[in-house]
Amino acid sequence: MTAAKRNVSLLDVLRHMGMDEDADFLRDGAQLLTQRLIELEAAERIGAGRYERTPERSTSRNGYRDRPWETRVGCLDLRIPKLREGSFFPSFLEPRKMTEKAILSVVQEAYVHGVSTRKVDDLVRALGLDGIDKSEVSRIARELDEEVNLFLSRPLEGPYPYVWLDATYLKVRHDHRVVSKALVIALGVKMTGEREILGFAIGPCETEPFWHEFLKGLVSRGLGGVKLVISDAHEGLKRAIRKVLLEASWQRCTVHFMRNALAHVPRAAQQMVAAYIRTVFAQPDQETAKAQLGQVAGSLKGRFPRVAQMLCECEEDILAYMAFPKEHHRQIHSTNPLERLNKEIKRRADVVGIFPNDDSALRLLGSVMIEQNDEWVVLRRYFSQESMSKLLPPADTMIALPVVE
């Protein structure tokens, strides 16, 4: 048998079967197979198949989320199972691929520019990058920059009643010096209860002009309907919030407040004072919380006058969250919803140590945030739609629109 006869193409087989005119055959087949793989992996994660009862079952299904997947045979419209407890994401979709590619790019760039530390040198050898092609480094950087820029310029489709703002600091090389720069992040929750990373930026420090420009950029992209902003008490940030998000209330992060207050208390008494202040946040509503705050401040005034003064001065700011649905209090009283993301950012930044420039930092950390945002898309809602509906005005206070016949 000749080589020509042995190497029968897939198209020839399809033609023989009468399927060559069906342009969607390969795509439909790939989608069917891929969806089956997803279901099998989900069943393994749950410990049981659909409608199956087993002793190994750890949770149950809770519907699906749609996720498109670009392949060589076209876009596959996949359905990712949601779980009532925990999360599930198909391993073959490689949710961390972009981040690992960004780490490689930053390490390469640092090495090419001759600014690598011993840690980066070790990484280069571990990754087998002894011979680095500068053009390849530039190509990877351009690809990643394009994805990050598209994410940062996408329209924001709100409203976003809750917005968290926070900053973390990175070591970046600037003008032949290593300096500390601020990475600021905005996280929002839609009326559907879903989380979304709204944006991020790198600047020299947390000044009012920097925060002002950052928030104005979010508004220009569609940020609106903000009812509560949660952040620490950085003065520049507070002024920027007042100027840009005019109709939003401000919640001072209670974790940061507690930390600041205990700085004025001797170590031996900190546990007692902290427990006393926490009784304020344990109250069922804002009115009783304010009454309890007054009692706590009065009790502390003798021994710890500065703490008592802080409580009285910050009453409105640290209890603003209590004007919102009780189901949301645990998440909106502090910037903790951003803490896990900040830890992942720090972990990735520590791999590099010192970034060669701002662009490389945005490239890597932007990739981390894009992938985190993608994972949130397939997870359960942060708040239930039922609880989010409580943010809407009562029906009898809504303006009735004329009926057009």
Domain residue ranges in the chain? 13-93, 97-153+347-378, 254-334
The tens digit of pLDDT for each residue in 143-169 reads 778 888 999 999 998 799 999 999 999
Mean pLDDT across the chain, nearest whole number? 81
What whole-number distance in Å separates Cα of residue 343 and Cα of residue 105?
21
- Mean pLDDT across 94-119: 53
Which band of pLDDT confidence, cut at 50, 70 and 90, is reported for residue 4?
A: very low
pLDDT range class, residue 103, cuts 50, 70, 90: low
Percent with pLDDT over 90 in the chain: 43
pTM: 0.69
